[in-house]
Chains A and B, each alone.
Chain A
Amino acid sequence: MARTVWDSTVGKKAVMAVSGLIMLLYLVVHMIGNLKIFFGTEEFNHYAHWLRTVGEPFMHYEWTLWVVRVVLVVAVVAHATSAYQLSRRDIKARPTPYAHRRRRAGYATRTMRWGGVILGLFIVWHILDLTTGTVHAGGFESGKPYQNVVDTFSTWYGNTVYIVAMLALGLHIQHGFWSAAQTLGAGSRSRDRALKTVANVLALLLTAGFIAVPVGVMTGVVS
């Protein structure tokens, strides 16, 4: 079955949909966790530490986190690979453009590919910045995420990169969530409105929720 799925455009699209939904679920949790920053250093840092101890004593320290990380890496790779392969195929299927060009589908739909690339690059930066600290502005201290976040959003480029990425994320989710529903056959005429609403609300909440943090830092609510 795996072969059937991966070899077909419809199957590969389903892989994108499922991996996308996994990432979306993670983002919702991630966004809620981020908002804890508004409750102060202690609570935020405590939350970050807790993430490493989830499932104890059954799980060893950081095991759960690593399980999540592995799942996420698999999802990202599956999502990106299928996106890349499908895009190559799509471009090949329509080699000659029309001489008379017209603006067509909605913005969110048209920006899925480049939006996806932006998000991919963002994730790399984001991990190097706040997980490994490799490119972190100021002194990165693991175990002190509150301070690390404040550092990042105290630079203009940190804010710019993050906010742009989050806007791209909103657009990506707006089309992606609805699209995933269609790809998995969950859409229907009667459900379409509801699905579109959920997609819009998710996109809006996630974007707003994530952007709240840099805005908080910039306005001094978080310092």
Chain B
Amino acid sequence: MRLTLRVWRQKNAAAEGAMSTYEVDGISPDMSFLEMLDTLNEELILKGEDPVAFDHDCREGICGACSLVINGDAHGPERTTTCQLHMRSFRDGDTIDIEPWRASAFPVVKDLVVDRSAFDRIIQAGGYITAPTGAAPEAHATPVPKADADFAFEHAECIGCGACVAACPNGAAMLFTSAKVNHLNVLPQGAPERETRVLDMVGQMDAEGFGGCTLTGECATACPKGIPLMSITSMNKEWLRAARKAGKR
């Protein structure tokens, strides 16, 4: 396959960026999207040009590092991570636009690499259960109904890639935040910190400069792990409940 790539190039956080055009040839439909970029980079290095920087690591769809907006879609046209997208989803002769995640809370580091540490700070604000090592009761002391365990798991699947933010026209991090809130708040182990968790995490989310939710549903459509839009609804409920309880105290 022969492709024209239009790639966002930006030297560093402070520099101006622009789309640059590259031609790649001899691309196999079996290549993953990132392997296609590897091919481009090998050529660029040999030509003495700066290769395109992009985040990637496990390349099996679980670490959440890869983060490209391909033709306007976070992670491209298939519902998966960029690393699991293959070139057979494109046609010979296609022009492909490749851009970084866009959100003011995710500043560009270089080219297609962005800084997602805001997500870490949201987790630090309350995305945990306080259970110091050694203090744990016997695992079977508290049974968890299977439905709750499954609900928790479904939300715990989030890989923190940030596609939800990239896809959201408001740059909101509601789906990310709600996934963790729901995972922990449904479990009996998470109950003691249920209210503070949701209030603090949402507070941090706002402080990071993410936008608000207008329920466009773009986040859930882009999510490679299928975290449902209803996750946000559940978090709203948790938040209102917590705000009510906090008001009573």
Contact = CB atoms under 8 A, between A and B. Distances in A.
Asked whether any CB of A lies within 8 Å of a CB of B in the complex, the reply is yes
Nearest to A180: B215
Interface residues of B, number: 50
A98 B68 CA distance: 12
B22 to A, nearest CB: 15
A14 interface: yes
Interface string A79-108: 000000010011111111111111011000
A13 B172 CA distance: 13
A124 interface: no
B237 A13 contact: no
A10 B216 contact: no
Interface string A169-196: 0000001001101111111110010000
B238 interface: yes
Contacts, number: 140
B71 A94 contact: no
Interface in B194-249: 199, 202-203, 205-206, 209-218, 228-230, 232-241, 243-244, 246-247
Interface in B163-188: 168-172
Interface of B is mostly: mixed
A4 B105 CA distance: 22
Given A93-B209, A105-B217, A4 B230 contact: no
A91 B170 CA distance: 6
Contacts of B12: none
Contacts of A175: 215
A97 B71 contact: no
A82 to B, nearest CB: 9
A9 interface: yes
A90 B214 contact: yes
A175 B215 CA distance: 9
B72 interface: yes
Given A98-B69, A112-B214, A179-B215, A10 B99 contact: no
A33 interface: no
A9 B236 CA distance: 10
Contact of B216 (A9, A101, A102, A104): A104
Nearest to A4: B243
A4 B247 CA distance: 9
| Interface band, chain A | 35 or more
B233 A187 contact: yes
A105 B218 contact: yes
Contact of B244 (A1, A13, A179, A189): A1
A100 B72 contact: yes
Interface of A: 1, 4-5, 7-14, 86, 89-102, 104-105, 109-110, 112, 175, 178-179, 181-189, 192
Interface of B: 6, 8, 19, 69, 71-73, 97, 99, 102-105, 168-172, 199, 202-203, 205-206, 209-218, 228-230, 232-241, 243-244, 246-247
| Closest A-B pairs by Cβ, 4 of them | A185-B237, A1-B247, A93-B211, A90-B170
23 contacts: A1-B244, A4-B243, A8-B206, A8-B239, A9-B212, A10-B239, A11-B239, A14-B240, A90-B171, A93-B103, A93-B105, A94-B171, A94-B211, A98-B102, A99-B19, A99-B97, A100-B69, A105-B218, A109-B214, A179-B215, A182-B233, A185-B236, A186-B237
Given A12-B212, A100-B72, 17 more contacts: A1-B246, A9-B202, A9-B206, A10-B239, A13-B212, A90-B172, A93-B209, A97-B102, A98-B69, A99-B99, A105-B216, A105-B217, A109-B217, A175-B215, A179-B214, A183-B236, A189-B228
